[in-house]
Amino acid sequence: MGEFRLYIGNKCFSSWSLRPWVAMEQCGIPFEETTIRLRTPETAANLAKVSPTGTVPVLMHGERLIWETLAILEYLADLFPEKRLWPEDRAARALARCVATEMHSGFLELRYGWPMNLRRPKGRKELEGAAAGHEQRIKAIWRQCRAAHGRDGPFLFGHFTAADAMYAPVVTRFDTYGGPLDPDIKSYVDAILATPAMKKWYAEAAKEPWPEPGPDE
């Protein structure tokens, strides 16, 4: 089959686009990318040309189309087992899939309260109700994974996995809105932000010329 092409949205705020992008970039999987500018009158028509759901990300592999972030990560894990996108240990792998799926399907109120926006000035923004509970749940997940399986490296399961890719946009939210973080949480946030892939994403987001505001501006 042909090479990979990943369709993504604006790097400043497209959190779902970041997840497979950072996984492929961090793992050294070569791909081309096409950005579909979001929040314009033409966005829906442009998305409809490449995405059956009208959303990004979408991965093209030759003539094969894979949509939905977690499905893309699973597809890549199948193709590149040597990249260890899932932990090799069965118990660790089960936990990684649990927390990745929880991220995929949950934390909606936190996402609304702390929308990904890489150009927003940093500072604590308090969450209320369910969103505040989500903040605590995410911290608990990170601590559980690190305590049980993170001793061989700085990430949730030691080395970088699909679980880290799923939580990468949340890391940006903690960095932007979380204010002073507990040392163990800050250590994980800093480890993700220090990866070459995340540094590249931030640098390219800063160069985006489009004037539309971020989601909370």
pTM: 0.96
| pLDDT class of 210 with cuts at 50, 70, 90 | confident
Average pLDDT of every residue of the chain: 95
Is the model's pLDDT at 14 over the cut of 80? yes
Q: What's the CA gap between 37 and 20, in Å, rounded?
A: 18
CA atoms within 13 A on the CB side of 94: 3
Q: Which of 180, 164, 213 is nearest to 12 (CA)?
A: 213
In the predicted model, is pLDDT for residue 1 greater than 60?
no
Q: Which pLDDT score is estimated for 211?
A: 73
Chain-centroid distance, C-alpha 179 = 20
User: Of 213, 178, 215, 211, whose CA–CA distance to 193 is shortest?
Assistant: 178
CB atoms within 10 A of CB 200: 15
Q: For residue 212, is pLDDT > 90?
A: no
Q: Name 155's bridge partners.
A: 158
189's tokens: 């946030």
Instruction: Please tell me whether residue 108 adopts helix, strand or coil conformation.
Output: helix
Residue 78 binned pLDDT confidence (cut-offs 50, 70, 90): very high
Whole-number pLDDT of residue 177: 97
On the question of pLDDT at 2 being above 70, the answer is no
**Predicted pLDDT of residue 217:** 58
pLDDT per position as a tens digit, 18-67: 999 999 999 999 999 999 999 999 999 999 999 999 999 999 999 999 99
Q: What is the structure's pLDDT at 98?
A: 98
The rounded distance, in Å, linking the Cα atoms of 45 and 200 is 29
188 has a pLDDT exceeding 80: yes
pLDDT in tens, 127-181: 999 999 999 999 999 999 999 999 999 999 999 999 999 999 999 999 999 999 9
pLDDT, residue 48, reads 97
- Spatial distance between the Cα atoms of 47 and 69, rounded to a whole number of angstroms: 16
Q: If 0-12 CB within 10 Å is exposed, 13-18 middle and 19+ buried, where does residue 137 land? A: middle
- Could you give the percent of the chain with pLDDT greater than 90? 94
- CA distance to 23, 61, 192, per residue, from 31 (Å): 11, 9, 21
